[in-house]
């Protein structure tokens, strides 16, 4: 009996200890990563590969960064809209035309919403598209080379924010204007906004063979702000949805004046119907001026063409093509679930999330149950199209993605959290905090019929104390959650390049097998390429000097050049003769007012050098290419403008 | 003798594989080359395993002063070997067909096998001599001159057969599909000889013994 007493005391003592350790009664789950095996789940051991690629917009960096998930490791920053001296993007002669616009050479933009091309509603990993917000442009990045290969300017647009989403067979990439403007542009008073300013929604066709972009038509919409967009899919394929705000058509102090209407709209656009109309000769050809820039992988050179016309469609002339779905309080995110039935509008000033039903919308259109019209576009009745409401899920809803298992995940900027809820029952299942003020979120394939619902990446606007301080400017960040279970689990924080406005994720195996290792020298069609050592030479045309140079481990050919004069424009056309994976060479010359050039195997790039001083000036390889990298150097002799030193070049004498 | 002759006809045909598949394969892996560089040695020339392997092997070898890997037209072997193999296939076929019709005996089969073996050994010796020259006949102006601990110049001769560590490279040299087909084909001719020989012996045995043997079964 005594024995049992001891045991009782021991148990009582143990329970006291346990209570003492957990005074607030907190569960282990809330004590974070240490209690779970979060570290293990994001640890990708040395030499191992990540499961997903994440293409994360660089926001005001203008670029697109490529991360691995779940590790959060950064692989590459792809230059898109901003000059990048590292890769000579916008500095070398070949890529300068990529940044040409109707406003001239624009070396920066605000990159927003990457979206991956699809086939049959599933990610096919051929291209990723991203929009430049400031000087409206859409770029296409070819995922066989991870380079920007095409940029098209969007005319009649301003603040290209409602972009760049792709339809489920990559028929179109769509770009909506955030700011309405006079169309065509004209010198009028800003106060004449109402009725005179218009917004365009631009449908850019994608060539099924080479991915070439071409503006098929622009839809001339009322002067609202078009915020975010998503295509229909599955049953709603053929439709496109755009959130709007400022249906008040205010032109000043929008934070107050554009927040007056109880409901703004989601614009539902039946693009198939408009495509039909356009194919039959519908629409009006309107003068325009916009740049179309294409990079050719064979010539390794971009060309910029100014286009002079665009096809404008007035929606009131295509009955049954465009409808307005009333949606509470300045909706931001506009997201369509994988089945295509639900359209989620995140009224950012509303306490509730509004979900519209595509089926109900079709029925309401069929029954002509309209609640008036705006500029000739029928407005459907809110109650007739409403599928349901997620009641009081959080504050400041922005964006929603889906896991393909019947759950939706919405970010809340103000309450700084991501909330999981069920489609159909609209009940909130789980919520997890974000650090801090989350904007977008991404589930790989979340914008397709087939999401890969294993991870969720939240993109935060504010980080404050989450990382070591770096002065007043601190990083934005991404946070990775495991969403494979009923409850979401925070696994990892990692910093991002610029401000991540959205991301697109895709299983690595879809892309990695197509990733190019080298450019074939035999396919190099660059006009100044050096395909064999006998092609290396220097030629003068007036004050232009063209150096046809080759580089291979570990020398330049030629590496001694004389007869250059002050005032010459020296073009170094440098070909990397390597045909081996991961052997780039760089080229830099003292006093170049451009950048270095970084040349991949089989590629030719051109650096313009305008020497200002007499002397003998070195150039060298900037990429540690081989054991004799330090020997990879040469000299250029620059003589006075009046000199008659003959042009000569040599290698190894 | 008919069955043996069929084998003697089929065996040499396997040598035709040498016109399609490589005879030998040498792979070079290194930390920088997780996907190794490789060369396939055919009877009519040397090709890279991947499109640019030969170019890249030559590129690396120039640091240590090795000659470039010979093109087909630079070595007499690549003109001669196809003729020799073609001739031996033809000869084997003729012997097999004549054997089938009883015009020649089984000893011709072993004759072909022995001749082929001698030619094979000669070929290997020649190959090894080339490897020695390739690995030791270095440019005196080589960028990197490496020596053994005793001061003699380091040899870059790849192994004729098997594995060897060579500076940062792991070198593996092994017979390839063509050689294996040749081996199988030659074994078939050897088998043809044994079958012919056995049959010949059986035919020569006294009738009584044959009957007794059959009884035992």
- Identify whether the C-beta of residue B196 lies closer than 8 Å to the C-beta of residue B109: yes
- ipTM for the predicted complex comes to 0.82
Taking 90 as the threshold, does the pLDDT of residue A28 lie above it?
A: no
Structure token digits, residue B216: 């035992």
Query: Is the omega angle on the peptide bond into residue A386 within 30 degrees of 0, that is, cis?
Result: no
pTM (2 decimals)? Answer: 0.90
- Give the nearest partner residue to B59 out of A518, A580, A627, using CB atoms: A580
Local structure of residue A156 (DSSP, 8 states): T
**Phi, psi dihedrals of residue A84, rounded to the nearest 5°:** -135, 105
Res B200: pLDDT: 87
Residues 6+ apart with CB under 8 A from A194: A223, A249, A251
In tens, the pLDDT along A597-606 reads 999 999 999 9
Taking 80 as the threshold, does the pLDDT of residue A197 lie above it?
A: yes
Res A7: pLDDT: 52
Q: Using a CB-CB distance cutoff of 8 angstroms, which residues of chain B are in contact with residue A627?
A: 63, 144
Structure token digits, residue A200: 């365009």
Cα–Cα–Cα angle for A184, A189, A194, nearest 5°?
Answer: 75
User: Please, what's the largest Cα pairwise distance for chain B?
Assistant: 80
A443 min Cα distance to partner chain B (Å): 33
A206 min Cα distance to partner chain B (Å): 33
CB-neighbour burial class of residue B48 (10 A; exposed 0-12, middle 13-18, buried 19+): middle
List the beta strands (DSSP E) in A413-454.
417-422, 428-433, 438-442
The closest of A463, A457, A462 to A503, measured between CA atoms, is: A457
CA separation, residue A172 to residues A211, A214, A239, A396, B187 (Å): 10, 9, 11, 31, 64
Mean pLDDT of B100-113: 93
Rounded to whole angstroms, the Cα distance separating A549 from A526 reads 13
Assess A253–B contact: CB distance below 8 Å, yes or no: no
Res A16: pLDDT: 45
- Identify whether the C-beta of residue A305 lies closer than 8 Å to the C-beta of residue A99: no
Taking 60 as the threshold, does the pLDDT of residue A585 lie above it?
A: yes
CB-neighbour burial class of residue A27 (10 A; exposed 0-12, middle 13-18, buried 19+): exposed
Q: Which of A186-190, A492-496, B199-203 has the lowest mean pLDDT?
A: B199-203
Res A18: pLDDT: 44
Res A134: pLDDT: 98
Rounded to whole angstroms, the Cα distance separating A115 from A173 reads 9
Rounded to whole angstroms, the Cα distance separating A457 from A442 reads 5
Rounded to whole angstroms, the Cα distance separating A224 from B111 reads 95
Res B205: pLDDT: 62
Higher local confidence (pLDDT), A34 or A217:
A217
- Give the nearest partner residue to B59 out of A518, A553, A627, using CB atoms: A553
CB-neighbour burial class of residue A253 (10 A; exposed 0-12, middle 13-18, buried 19+): exposed
- Identify whether the C-beta of residue A502 lies closer than 8 Å to the C-beta of residue A164: no
Res A517: pLDDT: 96
The closest of B76, B107, B110 to B187, measured between CA atoms, is: B110
Average pLDDT, chain B: 91
Local structure of residue B154 (DSSP, 8 states): P
B56 min Cα distance to partner chain A (Å): 6
In tens, the pLDDT along A31-56 reads 454 557 999 999 999 999 999 999 99
With b for 16 or more beta-carbon neighbours within 10 A and e for fewer, the B122-138 pattern comes to ebeeebeeebeebbeeb
List the beta strands (DSSP E) in A135-249.
137-142, 147-153, 162-166, 172-176, 181-182, 197-206, 213-221, 225-231, 239-245
What is the percentage of chain B residues whose pLDDT exceeds 70? 94
B37 min Cα distance to partner chain A (Å): 10
- Give the nearest partner residue to A627 out of B55, B56, B63, using CB atoms: B63
Q: Using a CB-CB distance cutoff of 8 angstroms, which residues of chain A are in contact with residue B35?
A: 581
Taking 90 as the threshold, does the pLDDT of residue B11 lie above it?
A: yes
Taking 50 as the threshold, does the pLDDT of residue B110 lie above it?
A: yes
Rounded to whole angstroms, the Cα distance separating B28 from A250 reads 70
Rounded to whole angstroms, the Cα distance separating A487 from A432 reads 9
In tens, the pLDDT along B37-84 reads 999 999 999 999 999 999 999 999 999 999 999 999 999 999 999 999
A579 min Cα distance to partner chain B (Å): 6
What does B157-172 look like in DSSP terms, one character per residue? PPPSSEEEEETTEEEE
Average pLDDT, chain A: 94
Closest Cα in chain A to B37: A580
A628 min Cα distance to partner chain B (Å): 9
Assess B143–A contact: CB distance below 8 Å, yes or no: yes
Q: Using a CB-CB distance cutoff of 8 angstroms, which residues of chain B are in contact with residue A578?
A: 59
A580 min Cα distance to partner chain B (Å): 6
What DSSP element (H or E) covers B60? helix B53-61
Taking 90 as the threshold, does the pLDDT of residue A455 lie above it?
A: yes
Assess B59–A contact: CB distance below 8 Å, yes or no: yes
Closest Cα in chain A to B50: A580
What does A558-583 look like in DSSP terms, one character per residue? S-EEEEEETT-EEEEEEEE---STT-
Assess A513–B contact: CB distance below 8 Å, yes or no: no
Closest Cα in chain A to B33: A581
Can you say whether the dihedral through the CA atoms of B69, B74, B79, B81 is positive or negative?
negative
Res A8: pLDDT: 52
What is the percentage of chain A residues whose pLDDT exceeds 70? 95
- Identify whether the C-beta of residue A115 lies closer than 8 Å to the C-beta of residue A447: yes
A-B Cβ pairs (cutoff 8 Å, strict): 17
- pLDDT confidence tier of residue B212, bands split at 50, 70 and 90: low
Record: contact A579-B51, CB cut-off 8 A: yes
In tens, the pLDDT along A78-90 reads 999 999 999 999 9
Q: Which of A152-156, A521-525, B187-191, B211-215 has the lowest mean pLDDT?
A: B211-215
Question: Side-chain half-sphere of A27: how many Cα atoms within 13 Å?
Answer: 3
Res A170: pLDDT: 98
**Three-state secondary-structure class, residue A398:** strand
Record: contact B59-A627, CB cut-off 8 A: no
Assess B101–A contact: CB distance below 8 Å, yes or no: no
Q: Using a CB-CB distance cutoff of 8 angstroms, which residues of chain B are in contact with residue A576?
A: none
Can you say whether the dihedral through the CA atoms of B29, B30, B33, B35 is positive or negative?
positive
- pLDDT confidence tier of residue A465, bands split at 50, 70 and 90: very high
Show the DSSP H helices in A354-512 as ranges.
Answer: 358-366, 382-385, 508-512
- pLDDT confidence tier of residue B211, bands split at 50, 70 and 90: low
In tens, the pLDDT along A391-436 reads 999 999 999 999 999 999 999 999 999 999 999 999 999 999 999 9
- Identify whether the C-beta of residue A612 lies closer than 8 Å to the C-beta of residue A606: no
Rounded to whole angstroms, the Cα distance separating A578 from A285 reads 49
Higher local confidence (pLDDT), A279 or A28:
A279
Structure token digits, residue A588: 């830099």
CB-neighbour burial class of residue B141 (10 A; exposed 0-12, middle 13-18, buried 19+): exposed
- Identify whether the C-beta of residue A387 lies closer than 8 Å to the C-beta of residue A397: no
In tens, the pLDDT along A104-132 reads 999 999 999 999 999 999 999 999 999 99
Assess B51–A contact: CB distance below 8 Å, yes or no: yes
CA separation, residue B99 to residues A314, B12, B85, B190 (Å): 90, 14, 21, 14
Higher local confidence (pLDDT), A6 or A125:
A125
- Give the nearest partner residue to A580 out of B56, B63, B143, using CB atoms: B56
What does A527-561 look like in DSSP terms, one character per residue? TT---SGGG-EEEEETTEEEEEEEEETTEEES-EE
Rounded to whole angstroms, the Cα distance separating A166 from A171 reads 7
In tens, the pLDDT along A469-479 reads 999 999 999 99
A43 min Cα distance to partner chain B (Å): 22
Mean pLDDT of A308-323: 97
- Identify whether the C-beta of residue A327 lies closer than 8 Å to the C-beta of residue A353: no
Q: Using a CB-CB distance cutoff of 8 angstroms, which residues of chain A are in contact with residue B144?
A: 627
Record: contact A579-B143, CB cut-off 8 A: no
In tens, the pLDDT along B120-155 reads 999 999 999 999 999 999 999 888 888 889 988 889
Res B209: pLDDT: 55
B46 min Cα distance to partner chain A (Å): 18
Structure token digits, residue A56: 């994360």
Closest Cα in chain B to A519: B52
- Give the nearest partner residue to B52 out of A553, A579, A627, using CB atoms: A579
Structure token digits, residue A540: 């003068």
Cα–Cα–Cα angle for A82, A88, A90, nearest 5°?
Answer: 45
Rounded to whole angstroms, the Cα distance separating B113 from B184 reads 12
Residues 6+ apart with CB under 8 A from B187: B11
> A interface mutation test: which of B30, B56, B57, B60 has the most A CBs within 10 A?
B56
Res A29: pLDDT: 45
Q: Using a CB-CB distance cutoff of 8 angstroms, which residues of chain B are in contact with residue A580?
A: 52, 55-56, 59
| DSSP-assigned beta bridge partners for residue A250 | none
What is the percentage of chain A residues whose pLDDT exceeds 90? 91
- Give the nearest partner residue to A628 out of B35, B55, B143, using CB atoms: B143
Mean pLDDT of A580-602: 97
């Amino acid at each position: 009996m005594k024995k049992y007493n001891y045991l009782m005391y021991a148990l009582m003592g143990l329970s006291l200890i346990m209570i003492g350790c957990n005074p607030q009664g907190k569960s282990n789950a809330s004590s974070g990563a240490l209690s779970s095996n979060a570290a293990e789940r994001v640890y990708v051991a040395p030499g191992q590969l990540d499961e997903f690629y994440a293409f994360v917009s660089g926001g005001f960096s203008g670029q697109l960064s490529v991360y691995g998930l779940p590790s959060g490791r950064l692989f590459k920053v792809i230059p898109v809209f901003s000059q990048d001296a590292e890769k000579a993007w916008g500095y070398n002669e070949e890529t300068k035309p990529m940044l040409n616009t109707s406003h001239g050479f624009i070396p920066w933009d605000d990159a927003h919403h990457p979206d991956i091309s699809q086939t049959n509603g599933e990610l096919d990993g051929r291209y990723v598209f991203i929009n430049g917000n400031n000087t409206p442009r859409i770029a296409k990045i070819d995922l066989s080379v991870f380079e920007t290969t095409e940029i098209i300017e969007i005319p009649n647009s301003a603040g290209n924010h409602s972009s760049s989403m792709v339809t489920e067979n990559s028929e179109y990439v769509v770009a909506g204007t955030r700011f309405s403007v006079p169309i065509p542009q004209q010198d009028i008073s800003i106060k004449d906004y109402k009725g005179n300013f218009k917004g365009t929604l631009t449908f850019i066709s994608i060539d099924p063979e080479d991915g070439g972009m071409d503006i098929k038509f622009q839809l001339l919409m009322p002067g609202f702000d078009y915020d975010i967009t998503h295509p229909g899919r599955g049953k709603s394929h053929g439709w496109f949805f755009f959130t709007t705000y400022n249906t008040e058509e205010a032109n000043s102090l929008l934070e107050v004046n554009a927040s007056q209407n109880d409901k703004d709209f989601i614009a539902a656009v039946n693009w198939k119907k408009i495509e039909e109309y356009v194919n039959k000769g519908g629409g009006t050809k309107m003068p325009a001026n916009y740049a179309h820039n294409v990079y050719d992988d064979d010539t390794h050179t971009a060309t910029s063409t100014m286009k002079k016309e665009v096809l404008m469609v007035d929606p009131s002339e295509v009955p049954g093509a465009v409808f307005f779905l009333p949606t509470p309080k300045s909706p931001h995110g506009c997201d369509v679930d994988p089945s295509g039935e639900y359209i989620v509008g995140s009224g950012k000033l509303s306490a509730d999330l509004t979900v519209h039903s595509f089926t109900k919308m079709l029925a309401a259109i069929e029954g002509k149950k309209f609640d008036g019209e705006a500029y000739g576009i029928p407005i459907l009745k809110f109650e007739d199209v409403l599928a349901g409401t997620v009641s009081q899920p959080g504050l400041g809803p922005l964006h929603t993605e889906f896991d393909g298992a019947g759950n939706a995940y919405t970010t809340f900027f103000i309450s700084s959290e991501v909330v999981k809820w069920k489609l159909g029952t609209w009940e909130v299942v789980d919520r997890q905090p974000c650090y801090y003020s989350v904007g977008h979120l991404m589930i790989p394939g979340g914008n397709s019929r087939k999401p890969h619902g294993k991870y969720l990446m939240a993109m935060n606007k504010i980080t404050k104390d989450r990382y070591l301080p770096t002065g007043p400017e601190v990083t934005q960040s991404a946070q990775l959650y495991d969403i494979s279970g009923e409850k979401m689990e925070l696994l990892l924080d990692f910093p991002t390049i610029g401000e991540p406005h959205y991301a697109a994720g895709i299983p690595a195996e879809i892309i990695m097998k197509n990733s190019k290792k080298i450019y074939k020298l035999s396919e190099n069609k660059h006009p100044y390429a050096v395909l064999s050592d006998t092609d290396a030479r220097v030629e003068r045309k007036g004050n232009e000097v063209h150096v046809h140079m080759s580089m291979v481990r570990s020398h330049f050919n030629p590496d001694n050049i004389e007869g250059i004069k002050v005032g010459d424009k020296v073009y170094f056309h440098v070909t990397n003769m390597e045909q081996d994976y991961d052997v780039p060479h760089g080229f830099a010359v003292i006093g170049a007012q451009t950048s270095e050039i970084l040349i991949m195997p089989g590629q030719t790039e051109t650096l313009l050098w305008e020497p200002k001083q007499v002397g003998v000036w070195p150039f060298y390889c900037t990429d540690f290419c081989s054991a004799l990298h330090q020997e990879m150097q040469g000299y250029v002799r620059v003589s006075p403008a009046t000199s008659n030193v003959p042009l000569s070049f040599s290698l190894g004498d | 003798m008919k069955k043996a002759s069929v084998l003697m006809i089929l065996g040499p045909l396997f040598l035709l594989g040498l016109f399609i598949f490589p005879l030998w394969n040498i792979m070079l892996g290194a930390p920088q080359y997780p996907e190794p560089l490789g060369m396939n040695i055919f009877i009519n020339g040397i090709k890279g395993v991947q499109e640019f392997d030969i170019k890249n092997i030559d590129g690396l070898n120039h640091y240590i002063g090795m000659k470039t890997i010979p093109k087909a037209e630079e070595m007499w072997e690549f003109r001669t070997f196809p003729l020799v193999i073609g001739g031996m296939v033809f000869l084997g076929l003729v012997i097999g067909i004549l054997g089938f019709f009883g015009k020649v005996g089984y000893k011709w089969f072993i004759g072909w096998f022995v001749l082929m073996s001698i030619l094979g050994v000669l070929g290997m010796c020649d190959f090894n001599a080339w490897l020695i020259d390739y690995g030791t006949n270095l440019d005196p102006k080589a960028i990197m001159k490496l020596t053994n601990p005793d001061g003699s110049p380091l040899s870059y001769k790849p192994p004729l057969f098997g594995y060897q560590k060579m500076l940062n490279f792991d070198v593996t040299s092994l017979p390839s599909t063509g050689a294996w087909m040749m081996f199988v084909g030659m074994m078939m001719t050897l088998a043809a000889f044994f079958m012919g020989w056995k049959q010949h012996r059986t035919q020569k045995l006294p009738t009584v013994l044959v009957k007794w043997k059959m009884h035992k079964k």
